[in-house]
Amino acid sequence: MALGACAADLLRLVMLRGMALTAGGLLFGAVLALPLTRLLGTYLYEVSPRDPLAFLTALGVMLATPAIACLLPGWRAARTEPMRALREG
């Protein structure tokens, strides 16, 4: 913000970087999860190994958690006055 970025740009930058890491992790996890469901299928109770509702619920939780984890510090950084951050940093 001290170099001319507005608060929305700062928040967008924090969210995009955090969610890019999340997307990479989710993609990697999904590629590994699908073949591993065959191995874990015997341990599941009343859920099929490839239940779309279970996968979508897990995906939603794994998207919401990092989104909140990125939003809170990004929002706090966007509210910080640039001169105060420069003095303390």
How do residues 11-39 score in pLDDT, each as one tens digit?
999 999 999 999 999 999 988 888 888 78
pLDDT category at 87 given cuts 50, 70, 90 is confident
Q: Is residue 11 part of a domain?
A: yes
Domain membership flag for residue 68: yes
In a domain, 84, yes or no: no
Percent of all residues in the chain with a pLDDT value above 90, rounded to a whole number: 33
Q: Residue 70 domain-assigned?
A: yes
pTM of the model: 0.69
Model confidence at 55, pLDDT cuts 50, 70, 90, reads confident
Domain that holds residue 40: 7-79
Q: For 28, left (φ over 0), alpha (ψ -120 to 50), or beta?
A: alpha
C-beta separation of 78 from 10 below 8 A: yes
pLDDT for the residue numbered 3: 63
Tell me whether residue 69 is in a domain: yes
Q: Is residue 51 part of a domain?
A: yes
87 within some domain: no
Residue 13 lies in a domain: yes
**Domain total for the chain?**
1
